[in-house]
Amino acid sequence: MPFASSQVKRKNPIESEALLVHIAHPRLHLPLDSLNAITHSLLPASHRVKRLLAPHFLYTLGLHKALIHHQRGATHNNQREVILPFTFQTASMHDRFALGVHGLGTKAYPAYNLFGVHLGVHTEYGRYRQAWYRHILEFTRKIVATLEPGDADVTRWADAAAQWVEGFPDGIEIWRDDVLAETLATIIATVSVFHTADHDSYSRIPIEQMPFRLRQQPPDESGPDEPHSDRSRPARRQRNSSAAWTLSTQSGDRAAMPPPTG
């Protein structure tokens, strides 16, 4: 996948992770909300596809409502909240979420696509996610095998979803080869394993290698004079700090950053 490849090729880990948070991760959240509504509206309660997907959609609307509207949440990124890592103002944070859906108009960062959430297997994390996807796919194939080919409910569901979810196969495409099973597996993996794994993976990066928040401008080549600075890793810390500072101020809306403590 071009997006995943670009992350591996980037020399700066801070830039890669910040782009992952602002461009890749939001794609695991909001785009499937419309599919959630369509699934509950069009598929009969007893339909196996609805029974398959319903448990995975159970908490997503509540989660996304909080993500969008909670005033103390990361999406609003209120600079008065000490636990929020990004130095962007609220409007710029919203713009970056939109960027995750619309992309940058380049091959490396394309617009959202249902199947674009799959990462390449050239990284350990990509292989981990693909292993889970293949495991889920084995199960969805068994479910699809029990359905009548050309099931009218599934066809109507796919046609409706294709109008709202970019890349979703329509009522004709959904019945070709393994498309229905792959679609169901991708939906389940997206709202469950992929989303959880993103948070877990990101949280395991050592804070000294990828500081969540910088509260002062990075030091110059001579090194900082502040007593709280870490001189044990001057080269890497200076490189990473510079990248994070650049990302946090590139939109021109520098937020007021309080002085460091401790």
pLDDT band (50, 70, 90) for residue 256: very low
pLDDT of residue 22: 54
Task: Give the model confidence (pLDDT) of 206-219 as tens digits.
Answer: 767 766 665 566 66
What's the CA gap between 30 and 34, in Å, rounded? 8
What's the CA gap between 171 and 197, in Å, rounded? 31
Instruction: Look at 139 and 227; give whichever has higher pLDDT.
Output: 139
What's the CA gap between 227 and 216, in Å, rounded? 13
Position of tokens 């090194």?
A: 223
Region of 103 (left: φ > 0; alpha: ψ -120 to 50; beta: rest) is left
pLDDT surpasses 70 at 119: yes
Q: Which of 202-206, 224-228, 251-255 has the lowest mean pLDDT?
A: 251-255
pLDDT surpasses 50 at 232: no
pLDDT of residue 249: 44
With H, G, I as helix, E, B as strand and everything else as coil, classify residue 49.
helix
pLDDT surpasses 70 at 151: yes
> So where are the chain's domains?
2-212+235-249
- Dihedral angle over CA of 236, 238, 244, 247, nearest 10: -120
Both tokens of 193, joined, read 């394993």
Cβ atoms of residues 132 and 121 within 8 Å: no
Task: Give the model confidence (pLDDT) of 66-82 as tens digits.
Answer: 777 788 877 787 777 77
Task: Give the model confidence (pLDDT) of 160-199 as tens digits.
Answer: 999 999 999 999 999 999 999 999 999 999 988 888 888 7
Position of tokens 């108009």?
A: 105
- Can you give the length of the chain in residues? 262
Cβ atoms of residues 208 and 230 within 8 Å: yes
Instruction: Look at 241 and 122; give whichever has higher pLDDT.
Output: 122
pTM value surpassing 0.75: no
